[in-house]
Chain A
C-alpha cells in the first residue's frame, strides 16, 4: 500500500490542489519567494504571509533514477523517479513519480507535465512527458 502524507496546515493545499486539477505552490506574499516543501513562515524574510498559488503544472527533469527494486510487496518495477524543476516557481523542485512513459526513456532536461490521482484525502501529483 502506498504510504500517505500527513496533512498539516502548511502542506494541505499542496496535497489537495489536485482536486481542482491545480498544482499549488507556496509563495511568500511579501518577498515572492517560492517555498517548497511548504512552510508557515517564509524562510527568506520570515513573513507569515504565505499563500498558495497555482503554477502551470509543467517542469524540467533536473535528475532522475529508474528504480528496479521492489521495496514493498506487489510493487511493480521498474519505474522512473524524477526531481523536477517547476515552471513558474523559481527554485522549487519536487520529487516526481513518472507515469505513462518507458522508464528508460526519461532524460535530464526533459519536459514533464503534472496530473493527479486521488487516494483518501490526498491528490498525488504524478508526472508524464509533455508532448
Chain B
C-alpha cells in the first residue's frame, strides 16, 4: 500500500546558538530554501501545518503559529493545522500527508521554528514544561513538583532501567554521541563540529545520571520547512518525489513519562511496529535513518522499536559499528540533534530527504533509496518510511 503523498522540498535556516534573529526571519529563510528545493513558488502553497502551534508557556519553544506565518509570507491557504497533541513532532507532516491524500491541499508547508537558545537566560529555561505558570496541570503536574522538571530526568530514568536490564554502559551511548559528531564534521550547517572523543564524552559533567552533557541535544535558534505534496502534484516538482510509503502513530500506554509499564520501551515501539504493518518494506531495505535523539538513549530505543535489532540488543548493534559513519544503517548523518542542533525532529527528516536526493556531500550514503524516520521520546512518537522511486 502506498500513500498518495510525497515530500517534495526541504529547507533549513542558518541555525545557530543565540542568533538573536527573530523566529520569523528564520522561518522565511527556511521556507524560501524549501520552495527553491521543490521548484515551487509561494503561490503553489495552499496548506500550512505545524507542531505544536504558537505556545507561550515555554519561551522560545514554539514562537510561531500558522496565522502569523500565513500573514507574514502572504500565503492563501485552503487548509491549515497546528497539532500540539499527536504522533510527536512528526504530527504536522503526517497530518499534511493525510490532507493532500484527501484533496484538502496540493502543497503543504510544514514548519518548525524555535528560538530556544536566545530565550534561555539565567532565570528562564525554555524546556521546563509549565515554566512561569502559577499552577501546573496535565501529566507533568505529577513530575515537575517533585523536581523531575526536565526531560533529561525522565530520559535518565529510562536509561538507568535499560542499563540495569541489558547491561548497556555509558560507552555505548558514547558511541552514539561520537558517531553523530563525526557525521556533523561533514555537515557545514551543524552547530557542533569540533571532534568529540570518547574521553571527552566520558569526562563531561553529569546532567541527570546516567546521562551527561553530550547525551543531551543542543538548544538552538532556527527553522525548518518540509513541503508535503499530493502524489500527482509531486511529479511536477524539481526533485524526485520522496513517497511516504508508510506512517506509524500508535500509542498504547498512558500519556506520561513515568507510567509506561516497561520503561525499556517507549511510545516509539507502538508507532514503529504499527508502521511496518502497512508496507512490504523491511528494516533490511532501509538505507538511511533519522532517529530522534533529544537524548542519546532514544537512539537505541528507536533502533529496537523499528526492528533493526531485537529488544536489549541495541548495545551490541551499536558497538558493531552499524550506525556511525560507514555503518550499514547510518543514523542521523547530519549530526542529529546531539551535534546538529535541536529542530525537534524536522532536522532529522531534512537530512533523510537530503540523503535520498543524493545531496549530502561528504557524508552521502551511496545509493540511498529508502529512509526511515522516527520522532519523539517517552510517550510521544511518530514514524515514517520514505522511498525514492
Contact surface of A with B, Cβ cutoff 8 Å: 2-6, 8, 11, 36-37, 62-69, 71-73, 75, 78-79, 81, 83, 91, 93-97, 108, 122, 124-125
* Distance of A43 from chain B, by nearest CB (Å): 8
Report the bound CA distance from A106 to B169 in whole Å.
18
Give how many B residues have a beta carbon under 8 Å from the other chain's beta carbons: 42
Question: CB within 8 Å of A: which of B186-215?
Answer: 205-211
Partner-binding segment picked from B46-54, B141-149, B340-348: B141-149
**Contact between A66 and B139 (Cβ–Cβ < 8 Å)?**
no
Report the bound CA distance from A5 to B149 in whole Å.
13
Q: Does B261 make an interface contact (CB < 8 A)? A: yes
Report the bound CA distance from A122 to B145 in whole Å.
10
Contact surface of B with A, Cβ cutoff 8 Å: 122-123, 125, 128, 130, 133-137, 139, 141-150, 152-153, 156-161, 164, 205-211, 256, 258-259, 261, 263
**Contact between A69 and B152 (Cβ–Cβ < 8 Å)?**
yes
* Distance of B129 from chain A, by nearest CB (Å): 9
Q: A63-B164, A63-B263 are in contact. List 8 more A-B contacts (CB 8 A).
A: A5-B141, A65-B208, A65-B211, A67-B208, A68-B208, A69-B152, A83-B258, A108-B160
**Contact between B161 and A62 (Cβ–Cβ < 8 Å)?**
yes
**Contact between B258 and A93 (Cβ–Cβ < 8 Å)?**
yes
Return chain B residues, CB-CB under 8 Å to A94.
142, 258
Main secondary structure of the interface of A (DSSP, over half): strand
**Other-chain residue from A8, A37, A64, A69 in contact with B256 (beta carbon distance below 8 A):** A37
**Other-chain residue from A3, A66, A69, A73 in contact with B145 (beta carbon distance below 8 A):** A3
Report the bound CA distance from A67 to B147 in whole Å.
9
- A/B interface sample: 22 pairs, CB < 8 A: A3-B130, A3-B149, A4-B136, A4-B145, A5-B137, A63-B161, A64-B157, A66-B156, A66-B208, A67-B147, A67-B156, A67-B208, A68-B205, A69-B150, A71-B125, A72-B128, A75-B147, A78-B206, A81-B148, A94-B142, A94-B258, A124-B146
Q: Report if A71-B150 is in contact (Cβ < 8 Å); known contacts: A4-B145, A37-B142.
A: yes
**Contact between B209 and A65 (Cβ–Cβ < 8 Å)?**
yes
**Contact between A2 and B205 (Cβ–Cβ < 8 Å)?**
no
Residue of A at shortest CB range from B131?
A3
Return chain A residues, CB-CB under 8 Å to B146.
81, 95-97, 124-125
Return chain B residues, CB-CB under 8 Å to A124.
145-146
**Contact between A108 and B164 (Cβ–Cβ < 8 Å)?**
yes
**Contact between B145 and A108 (Cβ–Cβ < 8 Å)?**
no
Residue of B at shortest CB range from A107?
B164
**Contact between A73 and B152 (Cβ–Cβ < 8 Å)?**
no
Q: Report if A8-B137 is in contact (Cβ < 8 Å); known contacts: A64-B157, A64-B160, A81-B146.
A: yes
**Contact between B256 and A97 (Cβ–Cβ < 8 Å)?**
no
Report the bound CA distance from A17 to B103 in whole Å.
54
Return chain B residues, CB-CB under 8 Å to A66.
156, 206, 208-209
Return chain B residues, CB-CB under 8 Å to A37.
139, 142, 256, 259
The 5 closest A-B pairs by CB, nearest first: A65-B156, A63-B161, A6-B135, A5-B141, A66-B209
**Contact between A95 and B142 (Cβ–Cβ < 8 Å)?**
yes
Q: Report if A63-B160 is in contact (Cβ < 8 Å); known contacts: A69-B208, A73-B123.
A: yes
Residue of B at shortest CB range from A67?
B208
Q: Report if A3-B144 is in contact (Cβ < 8 Å); known contacts: A93-B259, A108-B161.
A: yes
Most buried by B among A2, A83, A93: A83
